Chain A
Amino acid sequence: MNVDSIQNGIVIDHISAGNSMKLYELLDLDRLDCCVALIKNVTSRKMGKKDIIKIDADIHVNLDAIGYVDPEATVNVIKDGQLVEKKVIGTPQTLTNVLKCKNPRCITSCEQELDHIFRLSDSSAKIYRCIYCETKAK
């Protein structure tokens, strides 16, 4: 299967197979007007199988959201058909407005203007907690 290379845009590469839909939703890619290609189960020497997302526009992507779903993913910035920057993500320490706190008792449930911020509380288990009420992110 062939998907055209892009001239100016973003390629999110090395996504663990199966995670691309989660990223698609978390990054709100359905709201974009440009071409977006979501390629699943691409053969990879390093990973066996991987997913790739190609976005045919130079947009800002929330790196924390990508790191939350898949810290091993990489973000390639393409300009004039050339790779100009490769970003290695890693596990973010905080997530701002990536997730919503589900605790109905949390102050964020009634004050709409507050940022939803989660902090990494256990890096080995990858557990994030709301900075306001300490509820675990789900």
Chain B
Amino acid sequence: MRSLIDIRDLSTQEIDELIKTACDIIENPEKYSEKCRGKKLATLFFEPSTRTRLSFEAAMYELGGNVLSVSSGSSSSAAKGESVADTAKTVSCYADIIAMRHPKEGAPFVAAANATIPVINAGDGGHNHPTQTLADLLTIYREKGGFNNLTIGFCGDLKFGRTVHSLISAMSRYTGIKIVLISPLELKLPSYIKKDVLKKNGIPYSQTTDLLSVMPELDILYMTRVQRERFFNEEDYLRLKDSYILDVKKLETAKPDLCVMHPLPRVNEISVAVDSDPRACYFKQVLNGKYMRMALILKLLEEAEK
């Protein structure tokens, strides 16, 4: 049974096909409005989420399907101590596809190994969030017309930021990519990603703590939130949470066609005044996320039927 646990589960060709499908959905929504008639998506969210869960549910409704939902761990059998494996087996009896978010890393992997229906990882702790990466990729494709020859700056929490890890991994497959890593020293990109992804694929990268100094060279600026839930120590969180705040003044030296992205939710890291700048693409990302989830649900259900 094909599932999506890690963005690396998809080949570059499959990602290109998903983007093609998503673009076709955007152009011809009516063509897809009955594609999942009679199918049910179970959204199992054991960790708080607004946009990802709603995005999955909106995606399924727009495909003509239905949704079964668990919106917190405390309202499910997990609170009684049910294992992820048992939950996956049980839900397989009710639904046709699962989207799972879980605070523990690897939980969707365990679910996929035990379910008899496809499982989509909707975020597992600080580990993976492949559908956010698909949303990011569609945004880059629509804003930049492709993936090659781009300088991408990642700013903020690069240590625990799962969306950063996945997007770096996905972008490293393309040519002419340069990566600029902007973070406090305590939140640097883990060394294994530098070694296993960047160095292995020959992607040039630089590291800095100064956002302003690199702003003029960026085609894409990917901002991230310092996530309170990833810290064991509240003091560390408070010290680092406002390390980078993007405001209108900081954008003065940026390229006119810079694309500012953010997986959302934001706290302070992007000033609200930036929202009206045409270079702000983070709400487009949200919409693109829905289209890519539609394309993904379609693909996994079609493969499951085969």
Shortest CB–CB separation between residue A106 and chain B, in angstroms?
5
Shortest CB–CB separation between residue A107 and chain B, in angstroms?
4
A133 touches B105 (CB 8 A): yes
Which of A13-21, A91-99, A109-117 participates in binding chain B? A109-117
Q: Is B64 an interface residue (CB 8 A)?
A: no
B105 touches A111 (CB 8 A): no
A133 touches B83 (CB 8 A): no
B residues less than 8 Å from A58 (CB atoms): none
Q: Describe A's contact surface by its main secondary structure.
A: loop
CA distance A37 to B102 in the complex (A): 47
Q: Describe B's contact surface by its main secondary structure.
A: mixed
Q: Is A105 an interface residue (CB 8 A)?
A: yes
CA distance A106 to B110 in the complex (A): 11
Q: Is B222 an interface residue (CB 8 A)?
A: no
B126 touches A107 (CB 8 A): no
CA distance A133 to B110 in the complex (A): 11
B residues less than 8 Å from A131 (CB atoms): 106, 109
A residues less than 8 Å from B105 (CB atoms): 103, 105-107, 132-135
Q: Is A122 an interface residue (CB 8 A)?
A: yes
A132 touches B103 (CB 8 A): no
CA distance A132 to B85 in the complex (A): 13
B192 touches A107 (CB 8 A): no
Please pick, from A105, A113, A122, the residue contacting B83 in the complex, using a CB distance under 8 A. Answer: A113
Q: Is B35 an interface residue (CB 8 A)?
A: no
Q: Is B107 an interface residue (CB 8 A)?
A: yes
B106 touches A121 (CB 8 A): no
Known: A105-B125, A105-B126, A122-B196. A111 touches B83 (CB 8 A): yes
A107 touches B110 (CB 8 A): yes
A136 touches B127 (CB 8 A): no
CA distance A110 to B110 in the complex (A): 13
B107 touches A107 (CB 8 A): yes
A110 touches B106 (CB 8 A): no
A residues less than 8 Å from B83 (CB atoms): 111, 113
B196 touches A133 (CB 8 A): no
Shortest CB–CB separation between residue A96 and chain B, in angstroms?
14
Q: Is A108 an interface residue (CB 8 A)?
A: yes
CA distance A131 to B108 in the complex (A): 12
CA distance A131 to B125 in the complex (A): 15
Please pick, from B110, B126, B127, the residue contacting A111 in the complex, using a CB distance under 8 A. Answer: B110
B196 touches A107 (CB 8 A): no
CA distance A97 to B134 in the complex (A): 34
Q: Is A75 an interface residue (CB 8 A)?
A: no
B residues less than 8 Å from A111 (CB atoms): 83-85, 104, 110
Q: B191-219 CB contact bits vs A (8 Å, 1 = yes)?
A: 01000100000000000000000000000
CA distance A103 to B230 in the complex (A): 13
Q: Is A78 an interface residue (CB 8 A)?
A: no
CA distance A108 to B107 in the complex (A): 9
A109 touches B104 (CB 8 A): yes
Best-buried of B103, B106, B125 by chain A (most CB within 10 Å): B106
Shortest CB–CB separation between residue A117 and chain B, in angstroms?
10
A residues less than 8 Å from B110 (CB atoms): 107, 111, 114, 132
Q: Is A57 an interface residue (CB 8 A)?
A: no
CA distance A103 to B105 in the complex (A): 9
Q: Is A130 an interface residue (CB 8 A)?
A: yes
Known: A121-B196, A122-B196, A132-B109. A110 touches B104 (CB 8 A): yes
23 contacts between A and B (CB under 8 A): A105-B103, A105-B125, A105-B127, A106-B104, A107-B102, A107-B106, A107-B107, A111-B84, A111-B85, A111-B104, A113-B83, A114-B110, A130-B106, A131-B106, A131-B109, A132-B105, A132-B109, A133-B105, A133-B106, A133-B125, A133-B127, A134-B127, A135-B105
> Contact residues of B with A, CB < 8 Å?
83-85, 102-107, 109-110, 124-127, 192, 196
> Contact residues of A with B, CB < 8 Å?
103, 105-111, 113-114, 121-122, 130-136
Question: In the complex, given contacts A105-B104, A132-B106, what are 6 additional A-B residue pairs having Cβ atoms less than 8 angstroms apart?
Answer: A105-B103, A105-B127, A107-B104, A130-B106, A131-B109, A133-B127
